[in-house]
C-alpha cells in the first residue's frame, strides 16, 4: 500500500494592526506558489511580495497591491492569481495612507 503525497495546503498569516513601514505578514511555503488572497477590515493597505529575507533583503518580487478595505464590501477578499511567489517568499503589508492603521489584515498564499 502506498500513501499519496500530502496536498499543498495554503499558508496563512495575520497582521493585527498596520504601520507606516512594511511588516511581515506571512512566509510562503517551501515551493513556488501563484495565488495570493488578502482581506482587510479597516483602512487600506499596500501588500507586496519579497524574496526570502523580507524587506530588509531589498528583493522585491511583485509590485505593491493596493487593498481597499471596503471594496466591494467591508472585509472583501481580494484574490490575485498568476502572481509568482517563489519558495519561502515573504508577504509584507503597510498602511496605504500614513497614520491610518489598518486592522485585521489576513493573507494566504497557495
What dihedral do alpha carbons 19, 104, 67, 63 form, nearest 10°? 60
Q: What is the mean pLDDT of the chain?
A: 84
Report the CATH number that the domain containing residue 92 is assigned in CATH: 2.60.120
Check pLDDT > 90 for residue 107: yes
Domain for residue 6, yes or no? no
Percent of the chain whose predicted confidence (pLDDT) is above 70 = 87
Mean pLDDT, to the nearest integer, of 24-35?
90
Domain for residue 2, yes or no? no
Domain for residue 79, yes or no? yes
User: How far, in Å, CA of 9 to CA of 38, rounded?
Assistant: 16
Containing domain of residue 60, as a range?
11-109
pLDDT in tens, 65-101: 888 877 767 778 899 998 888 888 889 999 999 999 9
Q: What is the pLDDT of residue 35?
A: 92
User: How far, in Å, CA of 23 to CA of 90, rounded?
Assistant: 10
Q: Give this prediction's pTM.
A: 0.83
Domain for residue 93, yes or no? yes
Amino acid at each position: 500500500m502506498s500513501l499519496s503525497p500530502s496536498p499543498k495546503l495554503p499558508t496563512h498569516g495575520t497582521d493585527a494592526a498596520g504601520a507606516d513601514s512594511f511588516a511581515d505578514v506571512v512566509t510562503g511555503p517551501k515551493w513556488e506558489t501563484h495565488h495570493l488572497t488578502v482581506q482587510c477590515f479597516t483602512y487600506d493597505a499596500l501588500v507586496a511580495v519579497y524574496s526570502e529575507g523580507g524587506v530588509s533583503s531589498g528583493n522585491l518580487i511583485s509590485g505593491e497591491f493596493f487593498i481597499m478595505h471596503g471594496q466591494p464590501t467591508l472585509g472583501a477578499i481580494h484574490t490575485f492569481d498568476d502572481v509568482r511567489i517563489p519558495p519561502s517568499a515573504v508577504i509584507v503589508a503597510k498602511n496605504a495612507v500614513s497614520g491610518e492603521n489598518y486592522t485585521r489584515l489576513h493573507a494566504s498564499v497557495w
